[in-house]
Amino acid sequence: MRDDTKKENLLTKVLRIVAPGTLLREGIENILRAKTGGLIVVGSTQQVQSIMDGGFAIQCPLTPSHIYELAKMDGAIIVSDDLKEIEYANINLNPDHTLPTSETGTRHRTAERVARQTGQLVICISQRRNVITLYQGAFRYALQDIGVILTKANQAIQTLEKYKSVLDQSLTNLSALEFEELVTLQEVTLVLQRFEMVLRIKAEIRRYISELGTEGRLISMQLDELVSQVDEDAYLLVKDYAKVRHDGTPHQVLRALDDLGADELLDGVLVGKILGHQVSGDINEQPLSSRGYRILNKIARLPQPVIENLVDEFHTLSSMLAASIEELDVVEGIGLVRARAVREGLRRIREQVFIDRHL
């Protein structure tokens, strides 16, 4: 997993802790409005306790009013990992002063050093700048205004709609080529690249939703409606075209694509190699045959075990298209009625993709 993916995962996890709608965030907002400032550490581990001095144990429920009142004192507040209890208040924190910090204010310098030394999440509420800054390990993030995040999220949704439209058309074109037995590695890598672009925009919007908390419900509904099937379709495409003896599972192939940098993702040869193909010469001249997983999954009420049996029997979509009802009937789990349904389903799908294909 590349470093920016790890950072993104950590950011999403941290943002959920302080998202609007949580008790902790409500308490933090109260502190911001009062302009008193504050320092909150999540988790009283042994490392945290080793740098604590003074203050007092309180063991009271974590509520917005308790957070606000206790922040009026100069010391830090220590809350439990599960965010249900305030364990200590008015604590002086004495982290290792030799730890590097890029901050200037005393409270922010302390927060960054505590985060680096203990690995715990430290929340710093600025008294003068009206900013909430999160620290964990070497990670630092300043929370943005909800209005700004909503604007960015809506812009990202609009971008996603355009990319999803292009992806849908690419899939339709690929389906038409599959029925015509004209697919090359070029078309497959192009569709996979577009899948990955859509998935990356989806991940970015998920981060916005995490930061928005209860304010992001409408964005979340729009996202689910737009890309509800994208992960499954990407998985099926990889099942259709990954090399048969390729060691990686479809999920591992998709993770490898996710690990690629932006420039690497645009390299069709590299994407083809991740699928397990030996690429020689022009990938536009390298023919491929679909195994049929993606197309078969479009047929209503066709169970997954039956799809697996069909692929095991015929190996390619073109062989299934050429098979008679009698040949389909002998496949385990098919039967005469289902064989006719498969034959009719494939016919309808073929007619539809030829109509929808972008010429």
* Burial state string for 266-277 with b = 16 or more CB within 10 A and e = fewer than 16: eebebbbebbbb
Q: Which has more confidence, 7 or 277?
A: 277
Q: Are the CB atoms for 11 and 143 separated by under 8 Å?
A: no
Res 303 pLDDT > 60: yes
* Burial state string for 25-45 with b = 16 or more CB within 10 A and e = fewer than 16: bebbbbbbeeeebbbbbbbbe
Q: Which tokens is 297 given? A: 């999954």
Please state the pTM of the whole predicted model: 0.84
φ/ψ bin of 292: left (φ > 0), alpha (ψ from -120 to 50), beta (otherwise): left
Q: Which has more confidence, 103 or 9?
A: 103
- What is the per-residue pLDDT across 221-238, written as a single tens digit (0 to 9) for each? 999 999 999 999 999 999
What domains does the chain contain, in order, with CATH numbers?
A: 16-143 (3.40.1700.10), 145-289 (1.20.1260.110), 291-359 (1.10.150.20)
The whole-angstrom separation of Cα 292 and Cα 324 is: 16
Element (H, E) at 135: strand 132-136
Average pLDDT rounded to a whole number, residues 296-325: 94
Share of the chain above pLDDT 70, in %: 97
- What is the per-residue pLDDT across 179-208, written as a single tens digit (0 to 9) for each? 999 999 999 999 999 999 999 999 999 999
When the pLDDT of each residue in the chain is averaged and rounded to a whole number, the result is: 92
Q: Are the CB atoms for 40 and 77 separated by under 8 Å?
A: yes
The whole-angstrom separation of Cα 28 and Cα 18 is: 9
- pLDDT confidence bin for 137, thresholds 50/70/90: very high
The whole-angstrom separation of Cα 282 and Cα 105 is: 58
Average pLDDT rounded to a whole number, residues 8-28: 91
CB atoms within 10 A of CB 156: 18
- What is the per-residue pLDDT across 54-75, written as a single tens digit (0 to 9) for each? 999 999 999 999 999 999 998 9
Nearest to 22 by CA among 30, 119, 291, 300: 30
Q: Are the CB atoms for 135 and 122 separated by under 8 Å?
A: yes
